[in-house]
Amino acid sequence: MMLTVLGSGSSGNCYIVGSSNERVLLDCGLTQREILRGLNFNVAVVDAILLTHEHKDHALSARAFHKMGVPVYSGTETSHKCEYVRPVSALKPFSAGKFNIIGFPLPHDETPNMGFLMRHPDMGTLLYMTDFAYCPYNFKKVGINHLMVECNYCESDLDIDDDAYKHRVQGHAALNTTKGVIRANMTDALKTVTIIHVSSNYGNPDRMLTEVKSIVGDGVEVNIAVPGLTIQL
């Protein structure tokens, strides 16, 4: 099983999790053609799209893939705004192919948002959380193997006069928030941490990488998500 990053950040988020014959897309905030190219134009192997929320940088091509027959799952509130979405009840398990999935709400300013916990026999457990101010849940007892977690900005680098200041602090994870999530959920089962949705203006990838590595130690692979990155799961 592999994780492939097609896009990460405000310009567009999309990740492929799976193998050559079964895949799940985590968000689809790139153009349809960009995503198709990442799939080698093989849509038939996509079991589902897990959509965190309705914003364009996560949902740009969701409708297009729905029209191609790919089921798009997200929270109930998002399904009320996007008629192509299959509603997911919070904390209620569902399946897509061999993937067992649980969705859970995450605070993203005033926009309904959902994180996802996934399990597959060939991958173990993967936790995907992005665009959140804090996480009200703890998954330590699950034994997370792979963590994909937003680290959008460093508090010390923020500009309080920025028009997007309020949305950023109420809807995105700061470095200290991300570190807290990792500490709260890491066990000896953790194998990889992928830092996603880093702000181009207020993120510091080198600092984020260094500080996360200091928490998880040398036995855990830590990466910053950039287009083209592939990770063995």
194-212 pLDDT per residue, tens: 999 999 989 999 999 999 9
Average pLDDT over the chain, rounded to whole?
95
What would the mean pLDDT of 102-115 be, rounded to a whole number?
A: 96
Q: Is the pLDDT of residue 155 over 90?
A: no
Q: Is the pLDDT of residue 160 over 90?
A: no
Residue 69: pLDDT band (50, 70, 90) is: very high
What fold characterizes domain 2-228?
Answer: Metallo-beta-lactamase; Chain A (3.60.15)
Q: Is the pLDDT of residue 46 over 80?
A: yes
Nearest to 17 by CA among 152, 128, 150: 128
The letter for the amino acid at 203 is G
Q: So where are the chain's domains?
A: 2-228
Q: Is the pLDDT of residue 165 over 80?
A: no
Q: Are 82 and 74 in contact (CB under 8 A)?
A: yes
What would the mean pLDDT of 8-12 be, rounded to a whole number?
A: 95
CA dist 99 and 223 (Å) reads 24
CA dist 154 and 172 (Å) reads 11
What's the gap between Cα 182 and its chain centre?
14
